[in-house]
Chains A and B, each alone.
Chain A
Amino acid sequence: MGVTKEELESSLTSKLSPIHLEVVDTSGGCGASFVVEIVSAQFEGKRLLERHRMVNAALEKEMQEIHALSITKALTPEQWKQQKDSENSQAAA
């Protein structure tokens, strides 16, 4: 039995207190492949490599069963806001 999307969400939520979190199961249900987007104040002042390490550490237990984990976004709330603002202005333009 693999890992569920809910298990990932709960580990990430309890360890990184994200203000935005999106976990997508890309395995077609077998629970072995996920894409993660996460926005957390704990990423403040940390380089991308460190942020990814924090996500990996939060999922240490689950990683043993995960075949593929893709972290497409690991942003601070500030960066998240900027990104959304620029997307909105592009959409409006």
Chain B
Amino acid sequence: SFRCFSAISPELKTTIDKVVSSHKVILFMKGTRDFPQCGFSNTVVQILKSLNVPFETINILENEFLRQGLKEYSSWPTFPQLYIDGEFFGGCDITIEALKSGELQETVEKAMCS
């Protein structure tokens, strides 16, 4: 039988399910919150800091396995990737727009209360 080799394995999916749900707000980024290694990642870190919410960051440059897995898991080709309440929220541009519209604040508050 044929199998699509690019498809994410059930084991990896379960692992990622756990990782993205491990914190209310979790950012997969290039670098760390103190040393972002890309302007887009830095932008999202600054936005999250400005909201004054607790958030976790994971450096995808240090985990190629997770990096490739996440791209498929969220069907999103680039980093940073922001997850709120276990759900993919968006990349840098979406986060900027959502900050402007108030949607980000709303989603974060909802997650904190859930």
Contact = CB atoms under 8 A, between A and B. Distances in A.
A binds B: yes
Of B75, B88, B91, most buried by chain A (CB within 10 Å of CB) is B91
Interface in B63-82: 75-78
B75 A53 contact: yes
Contact of A63 (B77, B90, B92): B77
Interface residues of B, number: 14
Most chain B C-beta atoms within 10 Å of own C-beta, residue among A49, A53, A63: A49
Contacts, number: 25
A71 B40 contact: no
A72 B75 CA distance: 19
Contacts of A56: 76-77
B89 interface: yes
Interface string B69-108: 0000001111000000000111111100110000000000
Given A68-B40, A70-B92, A48 B77 contact: no
Interface residues of A, number: 11
B47 to A, nearest CB: 15
A48 B94 CA distance: 7
A52 B95 CA distance: 12
Contacts of B92: 70
A32 B40 CA distance: 15
A28 to B, nearest CB: 15
A41 interface: no
A71 B93 contact: yes
10 contacts: A48-B94, A48-B98, A49-B94, A52-B90, A52-B94, A56-B76, A56-B77, A63-B77, A68-B78, A71-B93
